[in-house]
Amino acid sequence: MKDVLAIDGLSFSHGKRQVLRNATFRAQPGEFLALLGVNGVGKSTLLDILAGLREPDGGTVEIDGRAQRAWGERELAQRVSHLPQAIHADLPFTAEQLVAMGRYPHTDRWFESEEDHRLIQAAMERTHCWHHRQRTFGTLSGGERQRVLLAACLAQGASTLLLDEPSTFLDIEQQLHCFSVLREEARRDKVCIAATHDLNLALTHCTRLLVLSEGVIAYDLLSSEAQRDQAWLRLFSSRLRIDSTSAGTPWVWYQ
């Protein structure tokens, strides 16, 4: 199967602080990758580079078989959507207008087509925010805003979805729903990469775990194998271990 993403030897420094040294991984259609690692390890930086928002100091990024920089801005936006960690809340748009922006890379017109409207509504229904469509974005709660932003990413129809802590602000039911939607999206031959601190959401919903440490992908393992060798857990805390629940699901416990 062809790689949707091929990342090779990425390095990046914020000023004198080197964050990425040699980050390398590939991703294929159908994969839902959890990007894990402690605070400040470089998860957002890596997602920003993949989204084309930061230029790496070294290494290569290929998207859909072509160098990232060889795609035009619009072509890239058709292929990659990005949910950043923080966004200005005071945007003067309704929720529906904000989701409609996800369709911009696909239209030359001022107005959205019928098909665009169908996709916008479908995305907002999937993230349970269609009933907020006429609300001004800034008047929504943190979790409601997060669902609108996720809908914009889905409406964009990209083959790669980069999500920086997508379950932030969401209540538990919505966290589970968000990760289920992303899993479903990956099954539609997409690649989803979600930076998260929730190891149980990652284990139960993602197909693969990438653990970033000291500038490299220190562990790259299938979720189904994460319980067998638990060395990767030590990067987070010595108090963690994985057991199975009575339903046979792997679950991270802390002591």
Ligand X SMILES: Nc1ncnc2c1ncn2[C@@H]1O[C@H](COP(=O)(O)OP(=O)(O)OP(=O)(O)O)[C@@H](O)[C@H]1O
Site residues (vs ligand X, CB under 6 A): 14-15, 17, 19, 37, 39-45
In the complex, minimum distance from the CB of residue 48 to ligand X, in angstroms, rounded to a whole number: 7
Look at the block and give the residue holding tokens 């690692």.
37
Question: Rounded to the nearest whole angstrom, what is the least distance from the CB of residue 200 to ligand X in the complex?
Answer: 17
Shortest spacing between CB 211 and ligand X, in angstroms: 11
Q: Distance between CA atoms of 203 and 251, rounded to whole angstroms?
A: 7
Inter-residue contact 127 to 148 (CB < 8 Å) = yes
Q: Which is nearer to ligand X, 43 or 208 (CB)?
A: 43
Residues with Cβ within 8 Å of residue 15, at least 6 apart in sequence: none
Query: Which of residues 41 and 191 has its CB atom nearest to ligand X in the complex?
Result: 41
- What is d(CA 238, CA 32) in angstroms, rounded to the nearest whole number? 26
Q: How many residues does the chain have?
A: 255
C-beta of 100 vs 212, nearer to ligand X: 212
6 CA to centre of own chain: 16
Residue 44 vs 127, nearer CB to ligand X:
44
Q: Which is nearer to ligand X, 6 or 212 (CB)?
A: 212
Asked if residue 124 lies in contact with residue 99, where contact means CB atoms within 8 angstroms, the answer is: yes
Task: Give the relative orientation of helices 172-187 and 142-155 as an angle to the nearest 10 degrees.
Answer: 10
SS3 at position 72: coil
- Write down the least CB distance from residue 196 to ligand X, Å: 9
d(CA 141, CA 206): 27
Nearest approach in angstroms of CB 14 to ligand X is 3
